[in-house]
A and B are shown apart, each in its own frame.
Chain A
């Protein structure tokens, strides 16, 4: 004999079908809201990060994510090198272990907080909120977040950035978009990096573009070579336009 708690469920009981009022055995009168959406709670935390960083402190916040080795850190190095002289940049760098990426960005003059995610394979908004505590937002104009290299989980975990930029590279094969549609759908812009070796690895970047448009309508696509910086100017312009009150809709 069972009684159901939660939900439209107070109606559904297993094992027998007495009415709710009979027998006086009590407890059939349960709340009908159902449980909290666990994923929505992560999205709410992302909104809080957004509110604090972007709205309260006027810091432009951009997340880079994508596969391991696609060139996220290299691209950030190029963007930071090319920033306006007076732009003050901070970064939150997620890595399963180690601080190599953090050191690389520090070497470019960025104020970095390194987050080791340990057994979690991605950043979430709570980890980002803790990392933000370690930064002096008053002194920053822009905050970059580099997520852990992962093409799956981050789709369910926005971090509160004004723009999520998905970095994939030609070496992953030109079917990378089709294999990861939900991740593309969760992002605002895509970078197809390592264009310099597209021919060598037989990747058709036009096909990647077409796939992106099919899976994620209206997504901006940038083709870059993060080694020498070619193609990053358009990305810089896009990010400038995404900054502070442009890209987000709330």
Chain B
């Protein structure tokens, strides 16, 4: 359950950003979460909803955008890898579709706050 500490960092960031912009309330938090991580979006949302209590984000809507894996290969290939077939959980096929070597993931392993929404006209 590391969702809790991750949620805490995200809320800290959101609250700091809002206060930098003079906003005293956050209405919406939007996150990007890589599909090749073990972060469970539902658990993350659940943890966020707990962590925001007593902060300016207490009533914020939380939205999670899943980020599919992307990769590159030393042969020059880059793109979205296939998903390995017939596994109980989704995982990218790390073999390069061009040359068969192992690719490096360049997306799909992140967890970021992409956007927060605050009330209009907050800076007098």
Task: Indicate whether A and B interact.
Answer: yes
Question: A residues bordering B, Cβ < 8 Å?
Answer: 1-7, 9, 12, 14-15, 25-27, 30, 34-41, 119-122, 124, 152-153, 155-157, 178-179, 181-182, 185, 214-218
Assembly CA distance A39 to B105 (angstroms): 14
Q: Is B114 an interface residue (CB 8 A)?
A: yes
The smallest C-beta distance from B23 to any residue of chain A, in angstroms, reads 7
Q: Are A37 and B111 in contact (CB under 8 A)?
A: yes
Most chain B beta-carbon neighbours within 10 Å: one of A2, A3, A153: A3
Q: Are B21 and A181 in contact (CB under 8 A)?
A: no
A38 in complex: contacting residue of B36, B95, B112, CB < 8 Å: B112
Assembly CA distance A217 to B92 (angstroms): 12
Most chain B beta-carbon neighbours within 10 Å: one of A2, A5, A178, A179: A5
Q: Are A3 and B118 in contact (CB under 8 A)?
A: yes
Q: Are B38 and A155 in contact (CB under 8 A)?
A: yes
Q: Knowing A3-B122, A26-B122, A178-B87, say if A38 contacts B9 (CB, 8 Å).
A: yes
Using a Cβ–Cβ cut-off of 8 Å, how many residues does chain B contribute to the interface with A? 51
Q: Are B118 and A26 in contact (CB under 8 A)?
A: no
Q: Is B78 an interface residue (CB 8 A)?
A: no
Taking CB atoms, residues of chain B closer than 8 Å to A217 are 94-95, 100-102
Q: Knowing A3-B120, A27-B121, A27-B122, say if A38 contacts B37 (CB, 8 Å).
A: no
The smallest C-beta distance from B65 to any residue of chain A, in angstroms, reads 11
Q: Are A35 and B112 in contact (CB under 8 A)?
A: yes
B114 in complex: contacting residue of A9, A119, A182, A216, CB < 8 Å: A9
Assembly CA distance A156 to B35 (angstroms): 12
Q: Are A179 and B88 in contact (CB under 8 A)?
A: yes
Q: Are A39 and B111 in contact (CB under 8 A)?
A: yes
Assembly CA distance A181 to B110 (angstroms): 17
Most chain B beta-carbon neighbours within 10 Å: one of A38, A119, A124, A178: A38
Assembly CA distance A35 to B17 (angstroms): 9
Assembly CA distance A5 to B6 (angstroms): 20
Q: Which of B3-29 contact A (CB under 8 A)?
A: 4-6, 9-10, 13-14, 17-18, 21-23, 27-28
Q: Are B88 and A6 in contact (CB under 8 A)?
A: no
Assembly CA distance A182 to B30 (angstroms): 25
Assembly CA distance A153 to B28 (angstroms): 27
Question: What are 18 sample pairs from A and B whose C-beta atoms fall under 8 A apart?
Answer: A1-B121, A2-B28, A4-B116, A4-B118, A6-B116, A12-B115, A14-B117, A26-B122, A34-B32, A35-B112, A35-B114, A39-B6, A39-B39, A119-B1, A122-B2, A153-B2, A153-B38, A218-B102
Q: Is B42 an interface residue (CB 8 A)?
A: no
